[in-house]
Amino acid sequence: MSHSYGEIALVTGASRGIGAATARQLAAQGYVVCVNYQARKDAALAVVQSIADAGGRAFAVQADISQEEEVLQLFASIDDVGLPLTRLVNNAGILFKQSKLVDMTADRINRVLLANVTGSLLCAREAVKRMARSNGGKGGSIVNVSSGASRLGSPNEYVDYAASKGAVDTFTIGLSKEVAGEGIRVNGVRPGLIHTDIHADGGEPNRIDRLQDKIPMQRGGRPDEVAASICFLLSDASSFTTGSIIDVSGGI
Ligand code: NAP
């Protein structure tokens, strides 16, 4: 897809997991990829290096997307590159240790909502400013990474996280209608159980082993399988699709 040379794709939370796989696939398609990360600089630089080794172009930018000032600095770093931003993947997301709502503090709930909802909204806001045709932009495409949790609710594990992903689904639909006339498409993917580090953050690294019998396809997914659906929704192959959400969950 040579059309993407000279355009920037931002992937938030691209140092590991689904974000890293997405960054690699976008770089292979010719995008100059901004690999955002929060804390793990070494992991982010390893993703950038693997992209360079494969002949692609990428750069890493540290920013906590839950903090507005840091989001503004992230986008300022992208502006400094001097190429148009035409793709955003709102991938960064967090969850905390499995527990029932009765044991959750306000601090925990707010941290989840800040990162998963406010952070994604702020990144989308800054991307829309730059992509909007009425603002001199080239148009573009945004993919929000939600979760099957938004459909299933994650009882006894993290209803706070599930609720945050419900908000992501809803703003995907609303924003898609708001910016369609600006040449910007907004879609979502809802991963199911995917082999990444996030399950260890929930206190159960082997969570997929426990649950995979309940998945119709009888296995967990790979980050690159989610990345492929993200890249489809970002690409012109889905040029008449906006406000849609693809489940990438093996049938659950
Ligand atoms: P992961 O392996 O835990 O990686 C999380 C990534 O997000 C890391 O790159 C991390 O950066 C970054 N990050 C976390 N908080 C951030 C913040 N405030 N600002 C910027 N970056 C931040 O996660 P994953 O499993 O790939 O999940 C990616 C997305 O898919 C999330 O939105 C998650 O909710 C969703 N999802 C995952 C699954 C699954 O089964 N894995 C299922 C459904 C949905 P550092 O490396 O610097 O810490």
Domain positions in the chain are: 8-248
**CA 98 to CA 29: how far, in whole Å?**
37
What are the structure tokens assigned to 135, written together? Answer: 């603002």
pLDDT tens, residue by residue, 60-93: 999 999 999 999 999 999 999 999 999 999 999 9
Q: Of all atoms in ligand 1, which is nearest to the CA of residue 90?
A: 32
pTM of the model: 0.98
250 within 8 A of 216, measured Cβ to Cβ: yes
Q: What's the mean per-residue pLDDT of the chain?
A: 97
Residue 1 binned pLDDT confidence (cut-offs 50, 70, 90): very low
Q: Of all atoms in ligand 1, which is nearest to the CA of residue 17?
A: 26
pLDDT computed for residue 2 by the predictor: 42
**CA 26 to CA 18: how far, in whole Å?**
12
Indicate whether residue 40 lines ligand 1 (CB < 6 A): yes
pLDDT tens, residue by residue, 94-135: 999 999 999 999 999 999 999 999 999 999 999 999 999 999
Residue 162 Cα to ligand 1 middle (Å): 14
Indicate whether residue 39 lines ligand 1 (CB < 6 A): yes
Rounded to a whole number, what is the largest CA-CA distance in the chain? 52
Indicate whether residue 220 lines ligand 1 (CB < 6 A): no
Residues with Cβ within 8 Å of residue 106, at least 6 apart in sequence: none
Indicate whether residue 196 lines ligand 1 (CB < 6 A): yes
pLDDT tens, residue by residue, 134-159: 999 999 999 999 999 999 999 999 99
Task: State the CATH architecture for 8-248.
Answer: 3-Layer(aba) Sandwich (3.40)
Residue 91 Cα to ligand 1 middle (Å): 6
Residues designated as active site: 161
Indicate whether residue 79 lines ligand 1 (CB < 6 A): no
- Burial classification of residue 57, based on how many CB atoms lie within 10 Å of its CB (0-12 exposed, 13-18 middle, 19 or more buried): middle
pLDDT tens, residue by residue, 26-59: 999 999 999 999 999 999 999 999 999 999 999 9
**CA 138 to CA 215: how far, in whole Å?**
41
pLDDT computed for residue 4 by the predictor: 61
What are the structure tokens assigned to 179, written together? Answer: 């910016």
**CA 190 to CA 145: how far, in whole Å?**
6
Q: Of all atoms in ligand 1, which is nearest to the CA of residue 15?
A: 9
Residue 252 binned pLDDT confidence (cut-offs 50, 70, 90): very high
**CA 154 to CA 133: how far, in whole Å?**
39
pLDDT computed for residue 151 by the predictor: 98
pLDDT computed for residue 120 by the predictor: 99
Indicate the top mutation candidate among 11, 22, 38 to test ligand 1's pocket, ranked by most ligand atoms within 8 A of CB. Answer: 38
Calculate helix-pair angle for 106-113, 159-179, nearest 10 degrees: 30
189 within 8 A of 208, measured Cβ to Cβ: no
202 has a pLDDT exceeding 60: yes
